[in-house]
């Protein structure tokens, strides 16, 4: 059973397009995250939701909009894609936000903007 799943795994698109990445976790966790990993493998948190409520919103262009329809899902929508958005995006989940618990990462979505 996949704990944290993301779709699609690969996404190739043109500049200016709008795209979405979906994430689902079946671990029963309360908190979910989006991370961006750049070409140098640097991992940076973008957003975090706890029970559908936004709790971390890093300095990210407002072209990025997370949406959490329920606590098992956290989707990432990106408007007007730019070349610099090319990266691997990871979804993760953890039991709750107040503790310092293990974060479980999905397999990643490699986004390439042409």
Partner 1 sequence: QQQVKQSPQSLIVQKGGISIINCAYENTAFDYFPWYQQFPGKGPALLIAIRPDVSEKKEGRFTISFNKSAKQFSLHIMDSQPGDSATYFCAASQETSGSRLTFGEGTQLTVNP
From 34, 46, 97, 111, residue interacting with partner 1 (rule: CB under 8 A): 97
Distances (CA, A) of 75 to 41, 98, 104, 114: 22, 22, 16, 22
| CB of 23 or CB of 113, closer to partner 1 | 23
Distance in angstroms (rounded) separating the CA atoms of residues 100 and 64: 26
What x/- string results for residues 15 through 44 when contact with partner 1 is judged by CB under 8 A?
----------------x-x------xxxxx
Hey, which residues between 46 and 75 contact partner 1 (CB under 8 A)?
Answer: 48, 50, 55-56
Is the dihedral angle over the CA atoms 86, 36, 65, 6 positive or is it negative? positive
Closest CA to 5 of 87, 68, 92: 92
Segment lying near partner 1 (by CB under 8 A), choices 19-27, 45-53, 61-69, 72-80: 45-53
- What residues have CB less than 8 Å from 44, skipping those under 6 apart? 35, 36, 37, 38, 58
| CB of 57 or CB of 79, closer to partner 1 | 57
Contacting positions for partner 1 (CB under 8 A): 4, 31, 33, 40-45, 48, 50, 55-56, 90, 92, 94, 96-108
């Amino acid at each position: 059973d996949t704990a944290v799943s993301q779709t699609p795994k690969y996404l190739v698109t043109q500049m200016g397009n709008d795209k979405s990445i979906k994430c689902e976790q079946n671990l029963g966790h309360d908190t979910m995250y989006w991370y961006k990993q750049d070409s140098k493998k640097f991992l940076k948190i973008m957003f975090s939701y706890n029970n559908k409520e936004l709790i971390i919103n890093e300095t990210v262009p407002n072209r990025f909009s997370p949406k959490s329809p329920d606590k098992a899902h956290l989707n990432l929508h990106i408007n007007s894609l730019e070349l610099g958005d090319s990266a691997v995006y990871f979804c993760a989940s953890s039991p709750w936000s107040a503790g310092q618990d293990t974060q479980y990462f999905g397999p990643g979505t490699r986004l390439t903007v042409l």
